[in-house]
Amino acid sequence: MALSGLLDAHTLPVAGQFFIEIFCGSAAMTLGLMLSSVPCLKPWDCKYGEQFDVSTEGWILLQLIFAGRIISAHFGTPCKSLTWARWPQLRDWDHPLGLPGLGPSAQKLVDTGNDLLDFTWQCCMALLSMHAYFSIENPERSWLWYIGNFLDLSEQKGVAMTRFLFRNFGVPFYKPTLVLHNTPTLHLLRAVSYTHLTLPTIYSV
């Protein structure tokens, strides 16, 4: 069985302290850490079933954080309503939590996005309070980086921003991506201090 199939088919053993990938997509980070013998919980994503929906079951992850079982977490928080690439925009500089007067379907998309943002922030603050580690990944051009809770999170002691230039094999363009984190390894990739007004000064890898 392929390793990716293992994630889909089995519950990973739970004993000790773990890394977890939340909103995992293809779960590439989990696979890489498993290959490096890092203890991992099964990654969380709605594609694995309703029991992995953080809007109803996220309290389980918060309990595991406060119990000291989750000591590192990576969040690939969905950016459907957050990306600057979508049109029409659902947010702007004056309304980063959502434009007024949106239609029902657009408002539902914004509300869902805000709920996922709030869950991400709660988990990161919980991890910080437990002296554990977190990382949040989103496109560089995402409204996430301009929402108050995440601006405040970026100012916490030990928290930093690292910029990556992702590119699929053979594709001529890059996708600038930011990771907000308190992870020592990612700190080594930073060349200068981060401010939200000087994105080009972030070291790229």
Residues 110-163: pLDDT tens digits?
999 999 999 999 999 999 999 999 999 999 999 999 999 999 999 999 999 998
From CA 189, how far away is CA 203, in angstroms rounded? 7
The residue length of the chain stands at 205
Which amino acid belongs to residue 142? Answer: S
Give CA angle at 138 (132, 141), nearest 5°. Answer: 140
Give me the numbers of helices (H) and strands (E) for the chain, helices first please: 6, 5
Residues 18-28: pLDDT tens digits?
999 999 988 88
From CA 76, how far away is CA 137, in angstroms rounded? 5
DSSP state, 191? -
Whole-model pTM: value is 0.82
Residues 67-119: pLDDT tens digits?
999 999 999 999 999 999 889 999 999 999 999 999 999 999 999 999 999 99
From CA 9, how far away is CA 63, in angstroms rounded? 25
